[in-house]
Amino acid sequence: MTARNAKTAAVKRLSSTVCETVEMFPQWTLLSQEHIAMLLELSVDQVQLQFEDALGLKKQQTCLKEAALLDYFVAGFWWAKEVNFTCQQISFFMALLQLVLDNMKEQQMPFAENFKAFTQNLLATRKSSSVDTDVNPLFDLDQIKSITDYFKSSLFQHYRLYQFLFTQPREEMLLGMERSIEVANSADFAAPLEEGMSTELYFRYMAPAPDASPPQSIQGLDECLEKNEEEPDERQQGEAHESPGSFSVEDVREVLVEMTKEMLAKLQADFTDRLRIQEESYISRLDSLKRVASK
């Protein structure tokens, strides 16, 4: 009984110590420590989806304010994860992010007052809850310095920019713009150059539609074919009149002999002229060589 009573007393003291620690170190109310432990195993894209649901951000793709809030909390959580904070430390860090942002957005605190509230909450983690209980500080001095540097570079350095984002409404006319597009008529344009557009694109989008009536040339061809079909006898008679009469073998031989003589005479004259030109060229070269040799 004595051992059981001692164990029960130790459990009660530990429970009271944990409760006092939680009361002393505020935690983020949107996500529990169990949920934060689960987020530590996810990728940054999955963490972003979880934060969208927790923060109720449904228009972060089109709303600049919601996109800035989502980036603010996701970047803070990922920084706390990379510096190996515990779940309790991350929960307090996220609660501190929420506190400073709410002071700026809802209470519209100036920078000096907001920085004072940030410093008081951060330095309170170095104190114990009471004299009787021995509670370790939530952060050491190096961690407090790192948190201060992070808030300085992420929020306090751009304090007026965040104030403008949360206090000045954006005009809706800047979010969209109407455009009217006029479709060109392909009949008003000439055929493009070969290097300007491919043939496939031209015939698909720019070439004028073909006429329903056949061209005049095709109509004329059809009429000629019909006329030839109707009058085959006359055409055959005309071809018979136009065809040359029959020639004998002697007549053909005489014609071939005359044509051969004329062709041979022309070839002989051309050959003679070329020989004469080459002879004159060789003679002139020999004369020049003789003059050079005599000198």
Q: What is the pLDDT along the chain (295 residues), one digit of tens a residue?
A: 455 555 444 434 433 433 444 445 677 888 888 888 898 998 988 988 888 888 888 888 878 888 888 899 999 999 999 999 999 888 999 999 989 988 888 888 888 998 998 888 888 877 654 444 445 678 888 999 999 999 999 888 888 888 888 887 766 555 566 788 877 666 666 655 655 667 777 777 766 666 655 555 455 555 655 665 555 555 555 554 444 556 777 878 888 888 888 888 888 888 888 888 888 888 888 888 888 877 6
Q: Are 274 and 154 within one domain?
A: no
With respect to residue 149, please indicate whether it lies within any of the assigned structural domains: yes
Total number of domains constituting the chain: 2
With respect to residue 8, please indicate whether it lies within any of the assigned structural domains: no
Q: Are 30 and 159 within one domain?
A: yes
With respect to residue 253, please indicate whether it lies within any of the assigned structural domains: no
Domain end among 170, 191, 224: 170
pLDDT of residue 171: 61
The 3-class SS string of the chain reads CHHHHHHHHHHHHHHHHHHHHHHHCCCCCCCCHHHHHHHCCCCHHHHHHHHHHHHCCCCCCCCHHHHHHHHHHHHHHHHHHHCCCCHHHHHHHHHHHHHHHHHHHCCCCCHHHHHHHHHHHHHHHHCCCCCCCCCCCCCCHHHHHHHHHHHHHHCHHHHHHHHHHHHCCCCHHHCCCCCCCCCCCHHHCCCCCCCCCCHHHHHHHHCCCCCCCCCHHHHHHHHHHHHHHHCHHHHHHHHHHHCCCCCCHHHHHHHHHHHHHHHHHHHHHHHHHHHHHHHHHHHHHHHHHHHHHHC
With respect to residue 191, please indicate whether it lies within any of the assigned structural domains: no
Q: Are 277 and 151 within one domain?
A: no
